[in-house]
């Protein structure tokens, strides 16, 4: 199942943002987006299983992806903020499971 999100007011926001310089847009919008994503990140941290705590500790809100994540993603917007686990291989196994272990989703329920 692919998660979906509905964003309202995008046209008004786009029009208002076009009146600002690119640097000002980034300085204004990034902190707001990061603040709005923090509750989602908190839910991920709370739902992550605690074997060593590494998984929960790796969940961050950031404007940067790890090098391995960056190679797999393409920019959708001039300003992007991400929330999720760091580039831990076990994050995928934990979320979706494998042939030995059932899934223990912690990212998907946060949406």
Q: What are the residues whose beta carbons fall under 8 Å from the beta carbon of 84, sequence distance 6 or more? A: 41, 44, 59, 60, 91, 107
- What local confidence, expressed as pLDDT, does residue 2 receive? 62
pTM (2 decimals)? 0.72
Contact 71, 44 (CB under 8 A): no
* Residue 3's pLDDT band (cuts 50, 70, 90): low
What stretches of 10-110 adopt beta strand conformation (E)?
Answer: 60-62, 82-84
pLDDT at 83 > cutoff 80: yes
pLDDT confidence of residue 99? 92
Average pLDDT over residues 53-59: 87
């Amino acid at each position: 199942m692919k998660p979906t999100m509905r964003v309202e007011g995008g046209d008004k926001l786009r029009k208002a943002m076009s009146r600002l310089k690119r640097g000002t847009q980034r300085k204004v919008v990034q902190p707001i987006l990061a603040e709005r994503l923090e509750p989602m990140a908190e839910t991920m941290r709370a739902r992550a299983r605690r074997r060593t705590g590494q998984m929960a500790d790796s969940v961050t809100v950031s404007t940067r992806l790890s090098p391995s994540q960056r190679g797999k993603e393409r920019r959708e917007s001039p300003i992007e903020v991400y929330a999720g686990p760091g580039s831990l291989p076990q994050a995928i196994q934990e979320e979706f499971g494998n042939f030995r272990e059932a899934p223990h989703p912690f990212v998907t329920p946060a949406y």
